[in-house]
Structure 1
Amino acid sequence: MAALSLYLLLTWMFLFSLFRTRFAEVLCHADESSALMEFNRSFRTDTTDWRCVYPKVHSWSLDGSGDCCSWDGVECDEVTGRVIALDLSSSCLSGTMRPNTTLFRLVHVESLNLAFNSFNFSPIPYGFSNLSRLQYLNLSISDFCSEIPRDISQLSGLVSLDLTASCETLHLPNMGDLVHNLTGLKELFLSSVSLSSPFPPVLANFSSLTSLGLASCGLNGDFPVNIFQLPNLEILDIHGNSNLSGFLPKLHWGSPLKSIYLSNTNFSGEIPASIGNLSLLTKLDASECYFSGSLPSSLGNLSHLTALVLHRNTLQGQIPVSFADLTQLSVLALSSNNLSGDTLEWVVNLTTLTFLDISGNSFFLSAGSVRSLSFSLCNFMEPPTSRAPRRSLPPRPPPRPSSRRPQAKPETGTSSSTSRPTSPSEMPRRSSSPPPSCPKPYPLHQWPPLACSVEDQRVGRVHRVHRERESEN
């Protein structure tokens, strides 16, 4: 019996090796090899571009001979030999994308990634509907301009769509028309695309969404609160939409949320205690909004939180002692609110903290209480004390005339808080350009996240956000 089992095992292994060999001998088809070579010839490689990592097309045959399935960035089906994936991201491509690009002849392709190249501000070509099997499409940060073609909406099998813009004129007249047929999307990134429209409520029905990036799109109107309740949403980034209003849900959240970016929006109201139920949350940036009320003690339940950025709101009251339980926290920015208190003893528990800014509040700290803390980590702001002046914040514009009675200024202590209007319509918008020196009391997206030095500015804000998103995936 044992001998029979051994015989059957050896026979199975032999047959399997034959099939593997047969599959490995399948070469790519001549028409697809020709399409790839024609596409390659229409561009040059620019290794000086900041997005360039490696020119993958340099491994391609100059005359199109050989097996294109072995070329860098090309993946073929092992049985049919058809090209099913093309990844030329950060491949140093430079040139104009032709309207009749030969990529549309790769009709079996399921994944297409042309991100981080330079297509010289040419329009995204019309014709993606030819690629009916496409599931992943990434054209981000590649200098595409003009209007996004509507036929992308016909790709009903799309799981991931990333059109993050690096050109100010890339626009979409009606976002709802683009996404209404893409109900299977798990990832949608249209940051910096000019939308200038209300937030499309249809997205609240996209139950498969795990990542939604619509930063700096000119969105306006009301943000649907049930977006926060999507069952699979992990990353929500809508920062930089200064005319987008909204509030945080008081009761129900989508429990998988890991990162929330709301800075520079018109969000207002209180931060609800229910936010403490987001057990997987690692980053929360709600800076330069209009949140009011006190900080809920339930924030201390967020044991995975690494960055909490709430500066320039109208929060008041004391910092909850439960903040001592945020042992993974690296960035804490609470400046320019109306917070108060006379102790920072809870800080000693935050052993991973590398950035702390509580300036511009009403803290009354004795010199002794400050000296008892160890501020040895990089990027710490000087804490305000009753004797030493704090660092000044960048100047802010004067408030608009209002019939409201201004708040009384504190008579003693170190607070330099100015009277602030309490509603979004009365509060002036603040500049989002960072000051020249580090550290910066500015939104998390404009920092080198959790770093001590300023990142090379040629990489830019959008590139850092893209890299952060990839690391979270």
Structure 2
Amino acid sequence: MDCQEVADLVNKKKGSKTETFWPLCHDHERSALLNFKESLVINQAASSYPSAYPKVASWKLDEKNKDCCSWDGVKCNEDTGHVVELDLASSCLYGSINSTSSLFQLVHLQRLSLFDNNFNFSEILNLSRLTHLNLSRSYFSELLELSNSGVLDLSFSDFENFCLGLQKPGLVNLAENLTNLKALNLINVDISSTVPHTLANLSSLRHLSLSGCGLQDLRLSYTRFSGKIPDSMENLQSLSYLDISDCSFIGKIPSSLGNLTKLENLYLSDLSHNQLTGPIPYWLMNLKKVSFLSLRFNQLSGRIPVEISDLTQLQDLQLSSNQLEGSVPSSIFELRNLEALDLSFNNLSGTVDLNMFLLSFKRLEALVLSSNKMSLLTRTTSSTNMQKFKIIGLRSCNLSEFPSFLHNQDQLMSLDLSSNKIAGKIPEWLFSAGTNSLEYLNLSYNLLMDFEHNLRVLPWNSLGSLDLRFNKLQGPFPIPSTSIFSYLIQTIS
């Protein structure tokens, strides 16, 4: 500091008695930061975010920049001058960090973010003093000493290319050592273990995108957890959001989940991994606050419980792709708040009046009943006062005509009437169904003969997929719009 700078400081003190001055950073910490910078290279490809830039470019040893507390991404304690926070998120850093890295000489460091860089599958060692750590999208391979961390973010948003594993020390040891952890993000990280009971010991945890206790939001999807869902999950009494879909859980859904009475969103669905079996359990009816319930893609059997009507707050009910059988219980029509209902790909049987679905649910926007063993009666009339649907799925419902309620459905995005017995011409009024919104239309496997009025150009401006195969259609066929990417037709010989 030269004489003029000293004079300026003296004048400032005289002019304001309340003004405070931060001490300069310590020499050994400045050297540690510079050595850490020199151990890495700046590579734009190491960060994926558009806003990324090399923060360490400002780290220089000259008269104007020798105070490392003023360097980009560095924050020091106002009283001691020690480096306590290092934010190098999206800094275009590439290289390896080993046990001798000068990074570990910053013994007062409490917060560290290395988000969105490429550290070439390095190991993170000896960071036991940290209270906040963000290593997401940063290509680390192992974590060893993290005993005091309060916030730990290890997520990697691109599941197909994730790089972080926790085989050593494993999730059990991680849970035992991180007793002060307040937030843990492991979305899309390969855990490769069953859910350990020790997660319930994380008494300080408040946000967890994997598992834990005292949580309001618990998301375990895509974590590859296996085995049975543990009964100890009932201890998470504050949960309002639970997602354990897309894992490898097996067996019956434990009744202990029925004690999570604050649940508002429950995802027990799967996309081919979960193998939940048995009937829909009655204890689910204890979840009076649940508004979203997904049990899709499992092996649930038996009937839909009559007590389903007890879930009066339900807005979205997803039961598709199971082995449910019997008739649709009349009690389901008491769920007046439903906005989406999907019962497709089950073995539901009987004859159901479509009017019951259309008139009972005033808020319904998505109705999917496809591929069951039931028949729909379509004694409906068009009405301008009827709710506007976005998704209709009535595949294989023994329909013999186009349902007339579609007359005024101008907000449709997806319509599937395939595998029915609809005969005759495709009516002109259907062309106004979702003229600007319809993206998917499937009329295949019917008995359709032609388009009414010899339609020359398809009217749907946003249509991406149209399937007209396996009908009795003969050309010429209408010209698709430029938005279409799948136009499937088949002529008869």
**Range class of TM-score, shorter chain:** 0.5 to 0.7
Are 1:267 and 1:291, in contact at CA under 8 Å, matched by a contact in 2? yes
Distance 1:82 1:97 in 2: 25
Question: 2:128 matched to which residue of 1?
Answer: 132
Shift of 1:377: 4.0
User: Residue 245 of structure 2: which of 226, 230, 239 is its match?
Assistant: 239
Q: How many Å separate the matches in 1 of 2:292 and 2:179? A: 27
Partner of 1:336: 345
Structure 1 residue 247 displacement after superposition: 0.9
The structure 1 residue matched to 2:260, chosen from 238, 241, 254, is 254
**What amino acid sits opposite 2:124 in the alignment?**
Y
Residue 378 of structure 1 aligns to which amino acid in structure 2?
K
Question: What displacement does 1:224 show?
Answer: 0.6
Matched residue of 2:140: which SS? coil
Q: What is the aligned partner in structure 1 of residue 104 from structure 2? A: 104
Map 1:257-336 to 2 at 5 A. Answer: 257-262=263-268, 263=270, 264-278=273-287, 281-296=290-305, 307-316=316-325, 317-318=327-328, 321-322=331-332, 325=335, 327=337, 331-336=340-345
1 CA distance for matches of 2:334 and 2:182? 35
Aligned to 1:161: 152
Q: Deviations over 1:397-435 (max 9, x none)?
A: xxxxxxxxxxxxxxx999xxxxxxxxxxxxxxxxxxxxx
Residue 226 (str. 1) matches residue 232 (str. 2): yes
**Cα gap change, 1:387/1:283 in structure 2, threshold over 3 Å: closer, same or farther?**
same
What TM-score comes out, normalization by structure 1 length? Answer: 0.63
- Are the structure 2 counterparts of residues 45 and 224 from structure 1 closer, same or farther at C-alpha, using a change threshold of 3 Å? same
Task: Encode CA deviations 1:233-257: one digit per residue, 9 max, x unaligned.
Answer: 4444433223544414267423444
Please name the residue that 1:171 is paired with. Answer: 165
Cα distance in 2 for residues equivalent to 1:134 and 1:290? 45
Shift of 1:45: 5.0
- State the match for 2:193 in structure 1: 197
Q: CA deviation at 1:313?
A: 1.6
Q: Encode CA deviations 1:56-78: one digit per residue, 9 max, x unaligned.
A: 64496242626655666554444
Structure 2: runs of 5 or more not aligned: 1-15, 206-212, 403-415, 423-438, 443-461, 465-493
Task: Quickly say closer, same or farther: Cα 1:199–1:342, change in 2 above 3 A.
Answer: same
- What are the superposed Cα offsets for residues 270-300 of structure 1, whole Å, 9 maximum, x if unpaired? 3334434445545443321222334446655
Contact 1:321–1:346, Cα closer than 8 Å, also in 2: no
Q: Equivalents in 2 of 1:304, 1:66: separation in Å?
A: 61
RCO higher in structure (CA 8 A, sep ≥6)? 1
The one-letter amino acid paired with 1:387 is S
Pairing 1:378–2:397 present:
no
CA offset at residue 227 of structure 1? 1.0
RMSD: 4.3
1:126–1:362 CA distance, 2 compared to 1 (3 A): same
Show the counterpart of 1:420.
Answer: none
Task: Name the % identity.
Answer: 30
Whole-Å Cα distance in 2 between the matches of residues 297 and 241 of structure 1? 29
Give the AA of the match of 2:399. S
2:22 maps to which residue? 25
- Give the Cα–Cα distance (whole angstroms) in 2 for the partners of residues 453 and 362 of structure 1: 30
**Letter of the structure 1 residue corresponding to residue 22 of structure 2:** E
- After superposition, the Cα gap between the structure-2 partners of 1:234 and 1:134, relative to the gap in structure 1 and judged at 3 Å, is farther
Structure 1 segment 385-424 matched on structure 2, within 5 A: 386-387=399-400, 390-391=416-417
Matched residue SS, 1:202: helix
Q: CA deviation at 1:353?
A: 4.9
- CA deviation vs aligned residue, 1:68-121 (integer Å, no higher than 9, x gap): 5566655444443444444444x2635233224443333333333333x2416x
> Offset at 1:339?
3.4
For 2:301, what is the secondary structure of its paired residue? strand
What SS does the aligned partner of 2:380 have?
Answer: helix
The answer for the alignment partner of 2:51 in structure 1 is 54
Distance 2:74 2:364 in 1: 43
Matches within 5 A, 1:428-467: none
Which entry has the higher C-alpha Rg, 1 or 2?
2
- Report the Cα distance in structure 1 between the residues aligned to 2:231 and 2:441, rounded to whole angstroms: 33
